[in-house]
Structure formats: C-alpha cells, structure tokens
Structure 1
Amino acid sequence: MAYVNPQGEFNRDQRYITTRITADGRDGYPVEPGRYRLVVARACPWANRAIIVRRLLGLEDVLSMGIAGPTHDERSWTFDLDPDGRDPVLGIERLQEAYFKRIPGYEKGITVPAIVDVPTGQVVTNDFAQITLDLSGEWTKFHRTGAPKLYPEELRDQIDKVNRFVFADVNNGVYRAGFAGTQEAYEAAYERLFARLDKLSELLAGQRYLVGDTITEADVRLFTTLARFDAAYHGHFKCNRSKLTEMPVLWAYARDLFQTPGFGDTTDFVHIKQHYYIVHKDINPTGIVPAGPDLSGWLTEHGREKLGGRPFGDGTPPPPPPPAEVVPAGHGVTP
C-alpha cells in the first residue's frame, strides 16, 4: 500500500461517513448507554483524540471502547490485541466488516476512530472531527460529575478558528511533509509546519492553553500531534528542523498536558512507533522501528502553572482508566 503521492503534494481524503449520534436521534442514531462501541487504535492521533475526550468526560461506562492493533494492511485495522483476534463485543476480526455491513463494498478509507452500532454491527460514523465535538455536546446527559467543558458555547468560534489552522498546518501538516512525493512539495509543507509551530509558541508563551484558561478541544487536537512528534514525525516524516524537546514553549506545554490525567496515560509510544515505521513501507521499507527517543523527559517539571489557568475549570480530573484500558507496561512513561 502506497502513501506517498508521486505527483507531489499529499491530499488527505476527507470523505467520511458523517452520520451523527445525537441526543434527539435526528439521524436515526440517538444517544443511548451501551448501544455503541468506539473503535480506536492507540497509535492513531485522530483516534487518540477520541480516547482522551471520552476519558475526560467520563463516558467509559456508557460508550465501550475496542482497541485495534497498531498496524494494518490495505484492507483494514485488525483486532489482533484481543486473545482470539476478534473484538469481544462486535465479534469481528477486521474493522472493515463493520464498514461493509453499513455500506457493502465501502471503497473509502477504513479509518479509526469509528463508532459502531452494536445491535446491527454497522459503522455509524468515522467523522473524527465531529465525533469528539458530539461527545462533548450530545452526550452531556451521561458526562461524569465534574466533567470539564471542552467545547463551551461561548468559546466555540475561537476554538473552531484555532482548530482549522492547527489541522491544516500541524495535524495534517506533518503528513503533508511525510507523504510528499517531490522535493518542492515536501519543503512547502515543512516550511508551513514550522511557521505555524513558531506562531503557536509565541501564543503559548503568554497563556497556558490555546483558548481561554482551561483545557479545551483545541488542546486535545494539538497534543496528539505533539506527542508523536519526536517519536515519529521528526525522523520518519522528515520534520526535522527541531525536535519537540528543542522547542521550549511547546515542549513545556506538551509536558503540562501529558502530566494531566487523560493525556499521557492514554499515550502508547510503542504502538505509535510500530504503526508509522511498519505500516508506511514506501517510506521505511525495512520496517525497522527505532529504539529511541528517550521518553523520560515527559515527566519533568514544566513550570506552566505560573501562567495561571485551571486545567478542568470548575470540574475535576478524571479517575484512573479502567484496568482493561490501561496502556501496557513499558509502552508509556511511568513515574
């Protein structure tokens, strides 16, 4: 399976299944405890967003989560982490099966995160950007006591604006560099990425979070790219002007979030490296996974408290993850 565009610039296919799960069920899928299953891969930054938001909002008991392995082939993500290679709730080996139940012969990407309707076994949506917004806005009846407001109405215009340029230049920007097929396309993406990271550094030098004085959806979206920067994007995608650890403001910001419950404890560096270095064979044909980088710095003091801010606003931190959802020993960073 080829990822690099030999013609030059990488363009992400953004044709998703846009059906929504809403409080009023207007698309035919009302919010219901226990009805749906969120399928993720810890390796994937887009899925990691959903893992974090679900955890921060305390939706574990109402929206179950299936975890695919870190690698996949051209057909699908697979449930090779489960004992018999099948998701224990959906009973399938490949996420592709749930897509085909909804749309036979589905020809677009079999992507994570995806939410599956358990009774029918059909994918409801894989629209990753809308999924997390709906977890905040449509599932509020089932949020835990003390859940933060990640997408408050009074800040939505600002959050949306930040999300647009962070997606274009950073979240997708690293892929535009990594999957570029010409020198010119790569250099354009490289320059755009680091110009945006420099602007974000300027912004975050004076405020603890991207929008307002609490963690919002915007911080979740930036974090999942920063968490993968040195482990994958710096080397594998040639985003090598600077490591994250060499950008002082962003490194401190990322550590602040990493040390916040729900962020670092959902980050699996082993899966991250396996995914990028094994799956993208046209970039790394040997499939060799790098031994580094050193991860110990993620738990060092960040000093961001001096900027003020309250991570969860009037809310509280989430409790520890359920035992079945703990990142495996040796895959993350432990105190």
Structure 2
Amino acid sequence: MKPAFSVLFLTTLIGVGQGLQLFIFVLSIFDKQEYSHHYFYVIGSLSALVLCLLGLIASVFHLGHPERAWRAILCWKTSWLSRECLCLPLFMLLTLLYGISLYLNLPYSLWLGFAASVVALALFVCTSMIYACLKFIKQWSTPWTLVNFIIYGTTGGILTSWLCALCTLSNQQQKSDLFAILSGISLLLALSCFLLSLVRNQRPCAASTLQSATGISGSKVKLISRGFTASSFNLKEFFHGKSGRLVLAITWASTLLAFICPLLLVICVVLVDSISLRIAILGLALISHYLGILAERWLFFACAEHPQNIYYRY
C-alpha cells in the first residue's frame, strides 16, 4: 500500500496520547500521596489532549472533502472507521474533563480518568481493527496489529509522562527509578513485537494468486499485460513504488530510532544528576522514538500486499 503521511501522523500522535492518558491514570491509582502531584497529572492529561488534537488536524489533510467528514460516523454499526470517529472526540472530551477535574481537585476525577482510559482502549481497538478486519491483506489480518498499536502507543506515553514528571515535580517526587524501569521494559517489549511482526510478515500466505484468480492450475502462469496504457488509481495507491533497498534502510532506521537509541538514552538519563540535562536527554529520546514509530508506521502500510498488486504492480 502507499502510505499517506497524514494517516501516519494521525495514528502515531493519537496513539501516544492514548498511551499517555492510560499511564497517568494507572499511576494516579497507585499514588500514595493522592493528588499532591496533581499538576503532573493535569499537564499529562492536557498533553494527551494536545497530541490527539494534532492527530485530528493531521487527518484533515487526508480528506478529499473535509466538509463531508461528519458522514464518517453514519456507518457506526458496521464500520470500524466510523467507530474510531466516534471514540476519538469522546476520548478527547473525557481527557479534557479529567484534566479540569484534577486541576480543581474534584472528588469524581478518578471516575473521569477511568472513563477516559476505557475509551482509550476502545479507540485502540477501533483504530487497529480498521486494518486487522481486512482478511485479504495478510500482513494486517493478525492479532499483532492490535498488540503493536497498544504497545507502541503506551511506550510513547510512558516516555512522555516521564518528561512531564521531570518538568513539574521536585527531585523527591519524580520517581525516576520507576519511570526508567517501565520505559526500559516497554521499549524492550515494543522491540520484541516489532521483530516478531517483521518475521511473520516475511512470508505470509497469499490471499490470492494468479492461478486461483484465473482458474489455471499451471505453475508458470505469467502476467504479460496489466490492462493499462496510462497511469491510474490502481497503479498509484496500492503500491509504495520504493526500492527494496530503501525499505530495508527504513526498517533499520525504525529499529534504531524507535527502540535502540531511546533505550540507550534512558540509561543516560538515569546516570545524569542535572535536571536540565535529564530533560534534554529524555526529550531527545522521545523525539527519536517518535521518528522511529513514524518509520514503523510507514512500513506497516508499505509492506501490506493488496491482492490487486498481483495484476497491477508490475
């Protein structure tokens, strides 16, 4: 498939926002000092909201007719895309209310956080199922699609929450050891899932072949004409058109930027005492991770083999 950069930014930005909201809510449950750190949670929830808002803005550039975007919710009974379009604004609303309730120290803030977290999980399901429900694209039609969306989003959320903690909490309150351990574990889990997905997608079972499509059982069926004398939608949008060498380079870049470099930078943060230096290093780790996840999301789309490419790719 040909990746649309607006979709890359949409899925990665809202993923980090969802992961951030989920993590700060879970952290708030186990916070023994209750809401003495409430500014950390307020900044965290507002950061999640801003990330989702940026993702929503990015999605507009993918629309041919933005004025008709509201129609996307009409098929919510059958379409995962419609369900995502309903869950995203609901998640943003609940996250905003959660942040406001924390700022005002309202007694029901925990319930708002719980509701926002449930919707965040539902949004992860909806976003991933847009792709996982397509049985004819074997690279997507797997439980790993949902797992990867959740783990990548949560990993970015943990790193972002750590940065929020460094910027808002004192040295005694920052819980750097906890953040470092969770960041390291999440990065290793994300790396494992990434590598397993690469291995699985090397030789997935093709949904269709020239033999099955034509009814010819011969082993040497060859396509000699794809039926086009000029460019068309089929030739442009279902194959990325990049060389195998470039795809391999992006794979390595994703591995290094999204997982290896952030992991090394997290170790550096633990070894450094200066708060300003910690913030700078962690900010660099977060930027590296996000650029790597953008590359991974490009691979997610680019390596998906649509059956029509059997006839129109070459």
Taking structure 1 as the reference length, what is the TM-score of the superposition? Answer: 0.30
TM-score under structure 2 normalisation? 0.32
Greater C-alpha Rg: 2
Q: Which has the higher helix share?
A: 2
